[in-house]
């Protein structure tokens, strides 16, 4: 569904930023303050088949944390008081806890049945500060971030996302930022798995979940960007070819270029001017350098090769748009990615990129039902997109551990869990997708008919396993 076709759909556009050495010339790096301790977000415990673990029962939610529960098939499904759902086997409980849980479930039953997405009412963030047309020139200006950040080292990808979320009403505490920035490789953070995990958690920790939109190919990129800005949506953009072509002349005059002409840089666009008659236009850029925090860049259609519009973000509280029925057309193989392939699929709303095992599967994936689903399915599909995003963009040397660490962080998977282990099961229109941990730093995504079948497939995929 549109709100959750989130980070992965724009993957090809951001691939060039993996080598983003984006420090401004002659800038002295800021020193990060000591990280502020941040309490971990509660998350449900997900475990594989009900098999007794060595060393006693596994951790599970306590009764005082649970709002309602349901027991069936040897498992306990619970709704936590914080709104999340959890699932764990009965064998993780002592005999006394089983009786307590049965009594609790009888008094506080978790109803099973059809459910739909229910969005809590949140006041819509007003992002548009100016929207007017004077003498034929249209001006739209969104609000600035509540706080302008100064990136530390080549971390523009991270800081741009902080500004992007901030403008839309999703604040990010300094402690959350420095907890990542102070930990990763300072010289090349984009080659550190913790950097990619941290960027995804910026979105996953937000409530309600951010709604992201992508260019659908029916409009030229600059026209699409102006349309989104008119709706109050900031744009996450990239300057992948040569950032210096887009910087103000007075800045370049005082800051001689000291790097490579292929430097990539991530920025946010939060405004524009446009005259339809003369075609004169500018974009207002929010940057992550203290020496050049904001600037206007004049643009012409030919400049679309220098500024890539990646995605836009709805203001917090904005209701989702009505989804359009997607019809798949021609499929083009772009490249193999592990045991799957990256395809480009032509559709009635423009080309879409998707990772699948075959062309037919790629068509099925882009045509998936976009009607309302239960929150477990929505979150699961969202996570599939993020997992794919990491495999599209991260350096092959670190993408396995980045994906595995993200699952561990979100679902609190113990380091000593018995392997193979089902970290997450997603029930979708085409069947069930399982994320199975086959090693501490390796989680595979596969389709299966049951937990047992998924575990069996994972065992057969292990190195040295007999076919």
Nearest to 241 by CA among 286, 308, 292: 308
Classify burial at 465, counting beta carbons within 10 Å of its beta carbon; exposed 0-12, middle 13-18, buried 19 or more: exposed
Decide: helix, strand or coil at residue 72. Answer: strand
Reply yes or no: is the peptide bond before residue 164 cis, omega within 30 of 0: no
The DSSP H or E segment spanning 406 is helix 399-411
The confidence score (pLDDT) of residue 157 equals 92
* CA–CA distance, 248 with 197 (Å, rounded to integer): 33
Dihedral in degrees, nearest 10, Cα atoms 426, 353, 204, 173: 170
The confidence score (pLDDT) of residue 276 equals 93
Compute CA distances 425 → 144, 231, 421, 431, 444, whole Å.
Answer: 39, 36, 11, 10, 12
The confidence score (pLDDT) of residue 440 equals 92
Task: Determine contact, residues 422/46, Cβ cutoff 8 Å.
Answer: yes
For CA atoms 239, 243, 249, 250, the dihedral sign is positive
Contacts of 233 (CB under 8 A, 6+ apart): 127, 168, 213, 312, 313, 314, 315
The confidence score (pLDDT) of residue 170 equals 95
Q: Which domains does the chain have, with CATH numbers?
A: 15-24+127-313 (3.90.70), 328-461 (no CATH)
The confidence score (pLDDT) of residue 246 equals 78
Compute CA distances 262 → 117, 239, 242, 306, whole Å.
Answer: 44, 10, 5, 11
Tell whether pTM > 0.85.
Answer: no
CA 197 to chain centre: 10
Helices (H) and strands (E) in the chain, counts: 11, 17
User: In the 3-class helix/strand/coil scheme, how is 238-277 assigned residue by residue?
Assistant: ECCCCHHHHCCHHHHHHCCCCCCCCCCCEEEEEEEEEECC
* CA–CA distance, 350 with 354 (Å, rounded to integer): 13
Would you state the structure tokens that stand for residue 304, as one six-digit string?
A: 């679309």
DSSP strand pairing (212-213 vs 308-313): antiparallel
Nearest to 159 by CA among 141, 138, 180, 185: 180
When computed from its CA atoms, the radius of gyration of the chain, rounded to whole angstroms, is: 24
Classify burial at 434, counting beta carbons within 10 Å of its beta carbon; exposed 0-12, middle 13-18, buried 19 or more: buried
DSSP 297: E
For 153-206, where are the E strands, in sequence order?
none
Task: Determine contact, residues 455/463, Cβ cutoff 8 Å.
Answer: no
CA 168 to chain centre: 15
Decide: helix, strand or coil at residue 443. Answer: strand
Q: Averaged in consecutive runs of 10 residues, what is the pLDDT profile of the chain (467 residues)?
A: 38 38 56 48 42 48 84 78 73 81 86 52 89 97 96 92 97 93 89 92 87 83 96 91 75 68 81 95 95 92 86 90 79 86 86 85 76 64 84 88 92 88 83 90 91 89 63
For 422, half-sphere exposure in the C-beta direction (CA atoms, 13 angstrom radius) is 26
């Amino acid at each position: 569904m549109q709100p959750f076709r989130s980070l992965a759909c724009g993957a090809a556009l951001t691939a060039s930023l993996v080598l983003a050495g984006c420090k401004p010339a002659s800038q002295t790096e800021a020193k990060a303050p000591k990280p502020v301790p941040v309490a971990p977000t509660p998350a449900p415990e997900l475990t594989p088949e009900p098999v007794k673990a060595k060393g006693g029962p596994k951790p599970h939610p306590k009764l005082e944390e649970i709002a309602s529960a349901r027991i069936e098939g040897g498992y306990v499904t619970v709704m936590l008081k914080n709104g999340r759902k959890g699932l764990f086997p009965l064998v993780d409980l002592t005999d006394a806890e089983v009786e307590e849980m049965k009594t609790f479930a009888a008094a506080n039953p978790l109803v099973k049945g059809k459910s739909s997405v229910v969005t809590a009412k949140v006041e819509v963030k007003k992002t548009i500060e100016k929207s007017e047309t004077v003498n034929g020139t249209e001006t739209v200006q969104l609000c600035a971030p509540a706080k302008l950040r100064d990136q530390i080292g080549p971390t523009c990808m991270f800081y741009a996302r902080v500004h992007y979320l901030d403008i839309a009403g999703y604040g990010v505490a300094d402690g959350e930022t420095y907890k990542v920035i102070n930990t990763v490789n300072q010289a090349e953070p984009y080659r550190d798995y913790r950097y990619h995990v941290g960027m995804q958690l910026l979105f996953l920790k937000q409530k309600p979940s951010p709604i992201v939109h992508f260019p659908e190919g029916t409009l030229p990129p600059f026209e699409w960007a102006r349309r989104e800005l008119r709706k109050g949506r900031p744009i996450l953009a990239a300057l992948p070819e040569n950032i210096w072509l887009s910087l103000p002349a007075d800045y370049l005059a005082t800051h001689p270029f000291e790097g490579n002409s292929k430097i990539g840089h991530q920025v946010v666009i939060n405004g524009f001017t446009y005259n339809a008659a003369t075609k004169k236009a500018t974009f207002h850029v929010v940057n992550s350098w203290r020496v050049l925090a904001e600037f206007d860049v004049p643009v012409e259609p030919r400049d679309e090769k220098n500024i890539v519009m990646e995605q836009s973000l709805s203001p917090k509280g904005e209701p989702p748009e009505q989804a359009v029925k997607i019809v798949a057309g021609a499929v083009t193989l772009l490249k193999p990615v592990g045991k799957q392939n990256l395809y480009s699929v032509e559709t009635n709303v423009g080309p879409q990129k998707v990772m699948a095992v075959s062309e037919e599967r790629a068509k099925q994936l882009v045509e998936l039902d976009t009607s309302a689903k239960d929150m477990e399915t929505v979150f699961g599909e969202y996570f599939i997109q993020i997992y794919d995003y990491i495999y599209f963009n991260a350096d092959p040397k670190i993408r396995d551990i980045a994906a595995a660490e993200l699952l561990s962080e979100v679902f609190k998977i113990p380091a000593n869990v018995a392997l193979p282990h089902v970290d997450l099961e997603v029930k979708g229109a085409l069947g069930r997708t399982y994320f199975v941990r086959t090693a501490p730093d390796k989680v595979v995504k596969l389709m299966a008919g049951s937990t047992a079948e998924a575990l069996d497939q994972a065992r057969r995929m292990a190195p040295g396993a007999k076919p």
